Chain A
Amino acid sequence: QKEVEQNSGPLSVPEGAIASLNCTYSDRGSQSFFWYRQYSGKSPELIMFIYSNGDKEDGRFTAQLNKASQYVSLLIRDSQPSDSATYLCAVPYGGGTASKLTFGTGTRLQVTL
């Protein structure tokens, strides 16, 4: 099984600030990366995916991928209290029809007023 590592947090940021969440992965051959948000008591929901090196932006969210260093980051600009949740990084392993996601344990983000 491939490993995905995240700092469990909590990461506390004030409202309006930038939250930076990091994830490292062990399989140098990994090609795609996913960020999920999970509110307490709810199931994970996909917020971003990234395939290539560099940045991908979607609204207030930016995913950054550095394959050479084997890490992927999620930046949340203008953080809101509604962003308070656990953020899960996920990396596929196995190929073709047998592809499956392995998840990090998640980073809990708290946005304070």
Chain B
Amino acid sequence: DVKVTQSSRYLVKRTGEKVFLECVQDMDHENMFWYRQDPGLGLRLIYFSYDVKMKEKGDIPEGYSVSREKKERFSLILESASTNQTSMYLCATRTGNGYTFGSGTRLTVV
């Protein structure tokens, strides 16, 4: 089974900081995704990538960017963190049927 690892379980950052969230998968899958999850709003797609250096905006890309230099690693970047980016961030990779998620990073911006 594929394993998706997110580097941090909890993060606290200050407003205006540049924040990097890292995600690594171990099965050479092409498609990777970043979602955020907020109460009452469900999972919303921020960005996704279907190959190295390939990326596409999801539904809520504003304030975020991504990097995929190697197939196994997909990074989410908050260029200048704001309090409204406090959320649970979930990375996923597309497997044969559905997605496999990482354990999530709960980011708090103060």
B-binding residues in A (CB < 8 A): 1, 8, 34, 36, 42-46, 49, 88, 90, 97-106
| Complex partner residue of A88 from B31, B42, B94, CB under 8 angstroms | B42
A-binding residues in B (CB < 8 A): 30-31, 33, 35, 40-43, 45, 48, 50-51, 56, 58-59, 90, 94, 97-104
Interface centre among A90, A104, A105 (most CB of B within 10 A): A105
Tell me, in angstroms, the Cα distance from A103 to B35 when the chains sit together: 10
For A97, list chain B residues within 8 Å (CB).
30-31, 50-51
For A98, list chain B residues within 8 Å (CB).
50, 56
For A88, list chain B residues within 8 Å (CB).
42-43
Determine if A100 and B103 form an interchain contact, defined as CB atoms under 8 angstroms apart: no
Determine if B33 and A100 form an interchain contact, defined as CB atoms under 8 angstroms apart: yes
Tell me, in angstroms, the Cα distance from A102 to B42 when the chains sit together: 10
Determine if A46 and B99 form an interchain contact, defined as CB atoms under 8 angstroms apart: yes
Determine if A106 and B42 form an interchain contact, defined as CB atoms under 8 angstroms apart: yes
**CB of A74 to closest CB in B, whole Å:** 14
For A36, list chain B residues within 8 Å (CB).
98
Tell me, in angstroms, the Cα distance from A43 to B93 when the chains sit together: 13
Determine if B45 and A46 form an interchain contact, defined as CB atoms under 8 angstroms apart: no
For A42, list chain B residues within 8 Å (CB).
103-104
**CB of A86 to closest CB in B, whole Å:** 10
Tell me, in angstroms, the Cα distance from A38 to B99 when the chains sit together: 13
Determine if A100 and B45 form an interchain contact, defined as CB atoms under 8 angstroms apart: yes
A/B interface sample: 29 pairs, CB < 8 A: A1-B59, A34-B97, A36-B98, A42-B104, A43-B101, A43-B102, A43-B104, A44-B43, A44-B90, A45-B101, A46-B100, A49-B97, A49-B98, A88-B43, A90-B98, A90-B99, A97-B30, A98-B50, A98-B56, A99-B94, A100-B48, A101-B33, A101-B99, A102-B45, A103-B35, A105-B40, A105-B41, A105-B42, A106-B42
